Amino acid sequence: MANRAGITAHEEAGRVRLVATGPWCVATAAGLDARLRVLAPLGPRVAIDMTGVERLDSAGAWLLHRTRTRLAEAGVPVDLEGVRPEHAGLLQRVVDVDKPMEMVAPRSLAVVDLVRHVGQATVTVLTEARALLGFFGLTVTIALRTLMRPGRLRFTSLINHMEQVGLNAMPIVGLLSFLIGVVLAYQGADQLRRFGAELFTVNLLGVSILRELGILITAIIIAGRSGSAFTAQIGTMKVNQEIDAMEALGLDPVEILVLPRAFALILTLPLIAFFADLMGLIGGALMSLFVLDISLGQFLRQLHESVTTTTFFVGLVKAPVFAFIIALVGCYCGLKVAGNAESVGRMTTQSVVESIFLVIVADAAFSILFSYLDL
């Protein structure tokens, strides 16, 4: 069948007749395409005789249409003759679909788009806040139920998570807190030197680190380190259908996965915050010693005069709240992971962003509360 398909040229008076024969279909398209590409018109007008075409499909119709178009672009008119009725519709369909489509730019109003985007973002935020609030209520309910029956709490998992989020986080928290103390002492001394009040750099260090920066920096580091780890761990379990297996066995994923992580972070974050406060003060003390020539004894005396136990506890009391927020968001985002690896990465990023945002919001709320209470 493939050898019978072809096209031959015959000269007539004033024109050239191209006689198409055989089946013009996918099976013969390669050979026909090679012949048609090298075809050169032999006269001022061409006629394609399709009387001998036995079968025609979309591939053959496209070859005929392309040949007509190429010759027409070269200034040679082409006539189709002997087209069977059953082939005419297909040829016309090929001609119709080859016409370029007009691209109409969608009408867009900047103000309308802005309002739509703001509305969509608002709905998304409110929906997310509602879901997170519901998860908060569920976690608190299960936590109270577990505290009434402490035997249900998995202490092995609790100790393991305390090591991961507490002990293993101390190097990075200590290093960054130390450097924050150095930077704060240097910048504070540079400004206070203009007024001859370099000694008050110790006051600046004590109040800012113990009251605000120590716990805030620690919470941000833990949110990026441990909160994201919670999401990745639980999300991977969700992808591997381990959480579905737990539910099929009648086990509560919140009790098994969320509570040990939340309790571990609530117990360890105050200790890490205390360590961060200490390292920040050490960094500030060393910078004061080398830059301001303030001895360690002078530093401790000035620190004792400027800082009270209230200042210390005002910063430390935020730690359990921040810890619960970080654990809650991390576990919530982990349980929201869909069944693919891309979702794990997306929800891990969302976990870090939401945790840090909520920690800063909570810190602002604490500042307003302490200001109202005159603490």
**pLDDT for the residue numbered 327:** 93
Each domain of the chain, given as residue ranges in start order, spans 6-97, 139-372
Question: What is the Cα Rg of the chain in Å?
Answer: 38
**pLDDT for the residue numbered 89:** 81
Question: What one-letter code names the amino acid at 326?
Answer: I
**Residues 306, 297: Cα–Cα separation, whole Å:** 14
Where do the H-state alpha helices sit in 240-340? Answer: 242-248, 253, 259-291, 296-306, 309-316, 318-335
Q: How far is CA 286 from CA 87, 169, 172, in A?
A: 92, 23, 19
CATH top-level class of 6-97: alpha beta
**pLDDT for the residue numbered 1:** 41
**Residues 296, 303: Cα–Cα separation, whole Å:** 10
Bridge partners, 81 (sequence order) = 49
**pLDDT for the residue numbered 113:** 80
Q: What is the pLDDT of residues 115-161, one digit of tens each?
A: 888 999 999 889 989 999 999 999 999 889 888 888 888 888 889 99
Please give the order of strands across the beta sheet that includes 46-56: 6-12, 15-24, 46-56, 78-81
**Residues 174, 323: Cα–Cα separation, whole Å:** 18
Max distance between CA atoms of the chain, in angstroms, equals: 117
The DSSP code sequence of 190-255 is HHHGGGT-GGGHHHHHHHHIIIIIHHHHHHHHHIIIIIHHHHHHHHHHHHTTHHHHHHHTT--HII
**Residues 281, 311: Cα–Cα separation, whole Å:** 14
- Unique residue bearing structure tokens 């867009």: 108
Query: How many CA atoms does the CB half-sphere of 322 hold within 13 Å?
Result: 33
Query: Is there a contact between 30 and 61 (Cβ–Cβ < 8 Å)?
Result: no
Phi, psi angle pair for 76, to nearest 5°: -110, 115
Out of 66-70, 140-144, 199-203, give the one with best mean pLDDT: 140-144
Say if residue 287 is exposed, middle or buried (CB neighbours under 10 Å; 0-12, 13-18, 19+): buried
The pTM of the full predicted model, rounded to 2 decimals, is: 0.69
Model confidence band, residue 14 (pLDDT cutoffs 50, 70, 90): low
Question: What one-letter code names the amino acid at 298?
Answer: Q
pLDDT at 328 over 90: yes
pLDDT at 42 over 90: no
pLDDT at 244 over 70: yes
Q: How far is CA 257 from CA 241, 305, 338, in A?
A: 14, 46, 17
**Residues 310, 52: Cα–Cα separation, whole Å:** 102
pLDDT at 365 over 90: yes
Spatial CB neighbours of 194, under 8 Å, sequence gap ≥ 6: none
pLDDT at 110 over 80: no
Mean pLDDT value across the chain: 85
pLDDT at 263 over 90: yes
Percent of the chain whose pLDDT exceeds 90: 29
Q: What is the pLDDT of residues 266-298, one digit of tens each?
A: 999 999 999 999 999 999 999 888 888 888 888
Out of 21-25, 168-172, 302-306, give the one with best mean pLDDT: 168-172
Average pLDDT over residues 34-62: 75
Query: How many CA atoms does the CB half-sphere of 96 hold within 13 Å?
Result: 6
**pLDDT for the residue numbered 2:** 43
Query: Helix count (H) and strand count (E) of the chain?
Result: 16, 4
Model confidence band, residue 43 (pLDDT cutoffs 50, 70, 90): low
Query: Is there a contact between 262 and 226 (Cβ–Cβ < 8 Å)?
Result: no
**Residues 276, 180: Cα–Cα separation, whole Å:** 10
**Residues 42, 9: Cα–Cα separation, whole Å:** 9
Average pLDDT over residues 75-85: 77
Opening angle at CA 245, ends 240 and 251, nearest 5: 130
Q: Count CB atoms within 10 A of the CB of residue 248.
A: 9
Helix axes 214-222, 341-372, angle to 10 degrees: 160
